Structure formats: structure tokens, C-alpha cells
């Protein structure tokens, strides 16, 4: 992942839910063009933040032995603008899991809803020396880095 949209893990319940934070900074490159004099975080980047949180949940649930391949994005709705200085709180809840995962995602700023979506993933084994294995290692490294935040993942049985 070249751009990281998860600054902190707030809560993780493997195979159930994840809650993350993204601090929206005025120095992010996107605000130079979107829009000059009226900076707004693009909806596509909010969806990317959902995706990164969902991938962390999938990885943490499987001990980073699987990654998800986004197969469908539906019911996407944006309610309010997200601007520099906002703290975006994201939550992904697993709605169903079998060979595919379906997650309900929601984002809020100051307790007010800003976006919702449903994400569907096909699960792929993260074998060494494969793109899925490389992705799993990047997710493991991100989780390790985020572990320095107040949430103690090891205490929840999530391998680092």
C-alpha cells in the first residue's frame, strides 16, 4: 500500500469487526486539487480507507494467512463532506462469511455519519512468493506498526 488511510486501530474483534481512525491533514497532496480554496476528501479515498480497514480485519482473523480480493462494492452513500482537520472514524462489521466475506462499513466525523458502504471479498490464501503473500506481509507490517497505539493486539490473540 503506497498510501495508508489507517492511522490507528481503535478496536478489533477477529471475525467480527474493526474500528480505525484516519486523521485528515491539510498537508495531504489530494487537497491541492480537490478543491482549491474548498478542500474536500474525495469519496474514493473514504472507500479506500474502508478497504484498508477490511483487509486488516481479514488478515488479523486469519493470522495473515489470507487476504481479501474486493469483488463488489455496493450501497455506497456519502452524507457529509470530510475536510482537513477532521478525524474520520471507520467501522467495518462482518455480516456474513463463508467462501466470501460481506462487510458493512460506516464512517463518521464527530459522531455524525459521513459515509456507508457494503464491501464483498473473495478470500485468497497468502502463500509465500505470491502477490497475495506479499500483500499479507504488508498488512502484517502495518498491523505491527499500529500495534504501538494503545490497542494491544497480542492480548486479543492476534499474531503480529
Closest CA to 126 of 34, 64, 53: 64
DSSP single-letter state for residue 42? -
* Residue 38 annotated in active site: no
Selected catalytic residue, list 7, 8, 21, 34: 34
Are the CB atoms for 88 and 82 separated by under 8 Å?
yes
In this structure, are residues 135 and 67 in contact, taking their beta carbons and an 8 Å threshold?
yes
φ and ψ at 60, to 5 degrees?
A: -65, -35
Q: How far is CA 7 from CA 19, 42, 62, 89, 131, in A?
A: 11, 18, 22, 10, 24
Catalytic site positions: 34
Amino acid at each position: 500500500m503506497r498510501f495508508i488511510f489507517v492511522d490507528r486501530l481503535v478496536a478489533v474483534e477477529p471475525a467480527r469487526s474493526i474500528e480505525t481512525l484516519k486523521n485528515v491533514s491539510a498537508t495531504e497532496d489530494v487537497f491541492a486539487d480537490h478543491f482549491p480554496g474548498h478542500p474536500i476528501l474525495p469519496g474514493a479515498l473514504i472507500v479506500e480507507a474502508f478497504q484498508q480497514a477490511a483487509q486488516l480485519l481479514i488478515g488479523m482473523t486469519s493470522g495473515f494467512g489470507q487476504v481479501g480480493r474486493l469483488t463488489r462494492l455496493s450501497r455506497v452513500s456519502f452524507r457529509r463532506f470530510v475536510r482537513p482537520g477532521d478525524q474520520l472514524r471507520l467501522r467495518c462489521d462482518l455480516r456474513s462469511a463463508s467462501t466470501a466475506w460481506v462487510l458493512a462499513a460506516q464512517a463518521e466525523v464527530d459522531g455524525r455519519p459521513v459515509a456507508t458502504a457494503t464491501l464483498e471479498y473473495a478470500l485468497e490464501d497468502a502463500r509465500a512468493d505470491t502477490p497475495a503473500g506479499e500483500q499479507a506481509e504488508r498488512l502484517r507490517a502495518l498491523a505491527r506498526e499500529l500495534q504501538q497505539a494503545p490497542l494491544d493486539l497480542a492480548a486479543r490473540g492476534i499474531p503480529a
